Amino acid sequence: MQISELFPECSSRENLLKVQHMVAKRAIIKDDFKDIRFIAAADQAFLENRIISGIVLLDFRSFEIIERAYSIQPVDFPYISTFLSFREGPAIVKAFGKLNTKPDLLLIDGAGINHPRGAGLATHIGVTLDVPTIGITKTILCGKGVEPTNIGETSPLVYMDRTVGWLLKSRQKCKPIVVAPGHRVSLDSSILIVNSCFRGHKLPEPARLAHEYANMCKSEQRIKSSEKMFENDNLFIS
């Protein structure tokens, strides 16, 4: 499948819904991966009219950072709830393409199958790149579940009588995070893998590092923009 089919130029609601139904149909919600040696996470940051996607690749056993990559894309799609893939997806795909080593599994800051049409950002990216993905969010997009109270405790997230993910209490005095399979990962494995990635923070370590990296890239770009403006002002004065 061509990437252009999953991120079409025609942005009519009818066409976008058609793409999402296609993504959901192609999503594999069972384990389809070998032993995980490298795990990565992707997160996004916004600067004016640009989106910055940062990906951090780690050794799954030691969580040593192996590689980082980022992309900067113009924001050419508005924020519309449940259509986040079309806004953030192209930047993730471009950043992923810059990695010299491809991960065995990718965590994404976004929903997976816990989406009204089963096509959240993690599912969309997983199907696009044909890579196992898990979605992680801080809020519930759809479905209901009993909020866990103790660290490490989980409860099913249910939407339309179907379990689509998990609520996971990762830290005291914090709301639970939402974990869901995206593509080529089962419900049970999604929570087991994420649970093995915590290092004392609310987010699993790969996702936390990707969040920091995306924001670091944002800060660097802001500094570059300021320096360029300063240089232009000096040229104007001289």
CA 59 to chain centre: 19
pLDDT average, residue stretch 19-24:
98
User: Is a pLDDT exceeding 70 seen at residue 237?
Assistant: no
Structural contact between residues 96 and 29, judged by C-beta atoms closer than 8 angstroms: no
Q: What pLDDT is attached to residue 232? A: 57
pLDDT digits (tens, 9 = 90+) for 102-159: 999 999 999 999 999 999 999 999 999 999 999 999 999 999 999 999 999 999 999 9
- Helix/strand/coil (H/E/C) assignment for every residue in 38-61: EEEEEEEEEECCEEEEEEEEEECC
User: Is a pLDDT exceeding 80 seen at residue 226?
Assistant: no
Q: Would you list the DSSP string of 100-157?
A: SS--SEEEEES-SS-STTS--HHHHHHHHHT--EEEEESS-SS-B-PPP-STT-EEEE
For 81, other C-beta atoms within 10 Å of its C-beta total: 7
**pTM reported for the whole predicted model:** 0.93
Q: Would you list the DSSP string of 62-83?
A: T--EEEEEEEEEE--S---TT-
Q: What pLDDT is attached to residue 167? A: 98
Question: φ, ψ for residue 175 (rounded to 5)?
Answer: -65, 150
CA 120 to chain centre: 9
Structural contact between residues 177 and 198, judged by C-beta atoms closer than 8 angstroms: no
pLDDT digits (tens, 9 = 90+) for 65-81: 999 999 999 999 999 99
Of residues 208 and 233, which shows the higher confidence score? 208
Domain of residue 92, residue span: 3-237
Q: Name the residue among 35, 3, 39 with its Cα closest to residue 19.
A: 3
For 147, other C-beta atoms within 10 Å of its C-beta total: 11
Question: φ, ψ for residue 79 (rounded to 5)?
Answer: -75, 115
Angle between helices 84-97 and 121-129 (to 10 degrees): 40
The C-alpha atoms of residue 107 and residue 140 are separated, in whole angstroms, by 17
CATH code for the domain of 215 = 3.30.2170.10
Q: What pLDDT is attached to residue 223? A: 87
Confidence of residue 225 (pLDDT cuts 50, 70, 90): confident
pLDDT average, residue stretch 31-41:
97
Q: What is the mean pLDDT of the chain?
A: 94
Q: What pLDDT is attached to residue 234? A: 53
Q: What pLDDT is attached to residue 37? A: 98
Confidence of residue 224 (pLDDT cuts 50, 70, 90): confident
Q: Which pair of tokens denotes residue 228?
A: 């360029």
Overall domain count for the chain: 1
Q: What pLDDT is attached to residue 177? A: 98
> Exposed e or buried b for every residue in 186-195, given b needs 16+ CB within 10 A?
ebebbbebbe
